């Protein structure tokens, strides 16, 4: 099976609609390499292979490698996946990858959440997966600045992509769960340092889905270790700079005006303790914020144990309830 590039005239922007195409054996024998589809959009000048497009439903429209910050950084790219044949403006799920703020990219986590991601799009949601700078490139708050800038770009260009800028959720995994929670909780606090200059703040999040994200950095076992991921994130061990740790911790920003949360964590997570999610859920509850915490029995820090029917149904119902 290969992917066919099909033109579509419904938008003025370059995009690709991917359809499975089964070749005859003769044609297969003539194929000497896999065709790599490189897209450039709005002149960003980057090209990159999309490793996860086959995860998405047939007919998914991909806008790939869009630079959201008007610069040349490859970590300032995002992909937009649009459902086929949706009438009206499309609610948006912003997807933030994990990797300890040190590794991975906008394809990460999609690979083991295949069914969930596919059903999000097939149920009429757009999905925008974003890259952001690693802690080794720039310390916090660069990561939250990047994430907010990506959302700002999506809002500013919502009409071009058919997105509903008033119906946005954010979903993240591990370090991406931390950033997703931070985005959702801090938005109504209007923290200037969390936005790049000239970034629009004219958006709100209607829902947050947090998969095993850190909530309070100073509670990590490596809080006094200068080489720990959380120390690299803020530029110092959290116990040495509790002010920076507090600034980068989602629980700092919990208040009664926050959006609903769905929090998922593995019972056997040995990288981010389930207590991190329990603490976040408790703070949300104390402040009267709608939230649900799902602790997955025997589950580790990440993996296919989270891409199962019952959790997938919870995620989809949560998004349907808050975005439609």
Q: What's the pLDDT tens digit per position in 276-316?
A: 999 999 999 999 999 999 999 999 999 999 999 999 999 99
Secondary structure of residue 143 in the 3-state scheme: helix
Q: What is the pLDDT of residue 85?
A: 83
Q: Does the structure show a pLDDT above 70 at 5?
A: no
Least confident range from 29-38, 58-67, 158-167: namely: 29-38
Q: What is the pLDDT of residue 61?
A: 97
Q: Does the structure show a pLDDT above 80 at 36?
A: no
pLDDT-derived band of residue 153, with 50, 70 and 90 as boundaries? very high
Q: What is the pLDDT of residue 19?
A: 44
Rounded to two decimals, the pTM is: 0.87
Q: What's the pLDDT tens digit per position in 213-270?
A: 999 999 999 999 999 999 999 999 999 999 999 999 999 999 999 999 999 999 999 9
d(CA 228, CA 233): 9
Q: What is the pLDDT of residue 49?
A: 83
d(CA 205, CA 318): 13
Residues 6+ apart with CB under 8 A from 192: none
| Strand 261-266 relative to strand 291-296, pairing | parallel
Residue 96 and residue 72 in contact, taking contact as beta carbons nearer than 8 Å: no
Secondary structure of residue 179 in the 3-state scheme: helix
Share of residues in the chain with pLDDT > 90 (%): 83
Q: What is the pLDDT of residue 33?
A: 30
d(CA 231, CA 139): 10
CATH architecture of 40-214+249-323: 3-Layer(aba) Sandwich (3.40)
């Amino acid at each position: 099976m290969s992917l066919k590039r099909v033109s579509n005239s419904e938008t003025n922007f370059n995009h690709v609609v991917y359809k499975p195409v089964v070749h005859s054996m003769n044609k297969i024998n003539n194929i000497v390499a896999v065709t790599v589809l490189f897209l450039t959009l709005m002149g960003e000048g980057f090209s990159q292979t999309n490793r996860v497009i086959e995860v998405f439903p047939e007919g998914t429209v991909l806008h790939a490698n869009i630079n959201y910050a008007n610069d040349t950084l490859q970590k300032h790219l995002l992909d937009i996946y649009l459902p086929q044949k949706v009438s009206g403006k499309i609610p948006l799920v912003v997807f933030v990858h994990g990797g300890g703020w040190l590794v991975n990219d906008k394809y990460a986590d999609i690979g083991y959440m295949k069914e969930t991601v596919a059903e999000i799009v097939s149920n009429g949601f757009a999905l925008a997966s974003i890259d952001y700078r690693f802690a080794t490139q720039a310390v916090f708050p660069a990561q939250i600045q990047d994430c907010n800038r990506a959302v700002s770009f999506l809002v500013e260009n919502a009409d071009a992509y058919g997105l509903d800028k008033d119906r946005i959720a954010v979903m993240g995994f591990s370090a991406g769960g931390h950033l997703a929670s931070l985005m959702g909780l801090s938005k109504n606090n209007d923290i200037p340092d969390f936005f790049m200059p000239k970034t629009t703040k004219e958006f709100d999040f209607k829902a947050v889905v947090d998969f095993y994200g850190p909530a309070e950095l100073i509670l990590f076992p490596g809080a006094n270790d200068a080489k720990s991921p959380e120390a690299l994130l803020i530029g110092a061990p959290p116990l040495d700079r509790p002010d920076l740790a507090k600034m980068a911790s989602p629980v700092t920003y919990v208040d009664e005006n926050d959006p609903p949360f769905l929090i998922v964590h593995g019972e056997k997570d040995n990288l981010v303790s389930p207590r991190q999610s329990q603490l976040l859920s408790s703070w949300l509850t104390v402040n009267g914020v709608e939230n649900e915490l799902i602790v997955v029995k025997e589950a580790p820090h990440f993996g296919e144990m989270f891409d199962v029917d019952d959790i997938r149904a919870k995620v989809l119902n949560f998004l349907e309830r808050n975005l439609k």
